[in-house]
Amino acid sequence: MRWLTIRVAAVVLLATVGQATAQITIDSDTTIDYYVDDDAGPLYVVEGASPPTTVDIVSPADINSPVRVFDSSILNMFGGTLGYNVLGAFDSSTANIFGGTIYRGESYGSSTVNLSGGDGSLRWECYDSSTINVSAGGFIDDLETLGSNTVTMSGGQIGFFTARGTTAVNMSGGLIEDIEAHNGTVVEMSAGEILQLQTYGTEVTLFDGVIGRDLRANESTVRMFDGYVHYMDLDDFSRLEMFDGEVDEMKVYDSSVAHIWGGKVLGNFIVSDSSTDDDRKLFGELDAPKSGSTTSIAMIYGGQFDGNLRAAGFSEVHIFGGQFHRDIMGREFRAFDSSVITIRGSEFNYDYGEIPDSSGTLTGILTNGDLIDVQFDVYEDASIVLVVPEPATLALLCMGALALLLYASRERRRTT
Q: What is the pLDDT of residues 44-73, one digit of tens each?
A: 999 999 999 999 999 999 999 999 999 999
Confidence (pLDDT) at 199: 97
Give the pLDDT confidence of 357-375 residue by residue, as tens digits.
999 999 999 999 999 999 9
CA distance 58 to 383: 71
Q: How confident is the model at residue 192 (pLDDT cuts 50, 70, 90)?
A: very high
- 108 has a pLDDT exceeding 80: yes
Burial-class residue 93 by CB neighbours within 10 Å (0-12, 13-18, 19+).
buried
Radius of gyration for the chain, computed over Cα atoms and rounded to the nearest angstrom: 28
* Cis peptide bond prior to 391, omega within 30° of 0: no
Asked whether residue 330 is assigned to any structural domain, the reply reads no
* Domain encompassing residue 90: 1-8+31-120
Confidence (pLDDT) at 75: 98
Asked whether residue 107 is assigned to any structural domain, the reply reads yes
Q: How confident is the model at residue 14 (pLDDT cuts 50, 70, 90)?
A: very low
Q: How confident is the model at residue 2 (pLDDT cuts 50, 70, 90)?
A: very low
- Beta carbons within 8 Å of 168's beta carbon, 6+ residues apart: 149, 150, 151, 185, 186, 188
Confidence (pLDDT) at 39: 85
CA distance 306 to 255: 24
Backbone angle region of 292, left / alpha / beta, with phi > 0 → left and psi within -120 to 50 → alpha: left
Higher pLDDT: 311 or 86? It is: 311
What is residue 371's three-state secondary structure? strand
Q: How confident is the model at residue 165 (pLDDT cuts 50, 70, 90)?
A: confident
Cα distances from 371 to residues 74, 332, 347, in angstroms, run 63, 14, 10
Asked whether residue 47 is assigned to any structural domain, the reply reads yes
Percent of the chain residues topping a pLDDT of 70: 81
The answer to whether 73 touches 93, Cβ cutoff 8 Å, is yes
- 412 has a pLDDT exceeding 60: no
- 400 has a pLDDT exceeding 70: no
Nearest to 289 by CA among 258, 314, 259: 314
The answer to whether 180 touches 146, Cβ cutoff 8 Å, is no
Chain mean pLDDT for the chain: 86
Domains identified in the chain, total number? 1
What single DSSP character describes residue 40? Answer: G
Asked whether residue 388 is assigned to any structural domain, the reply reads no
Higher pLDDT: 16 or 24? It is: 24
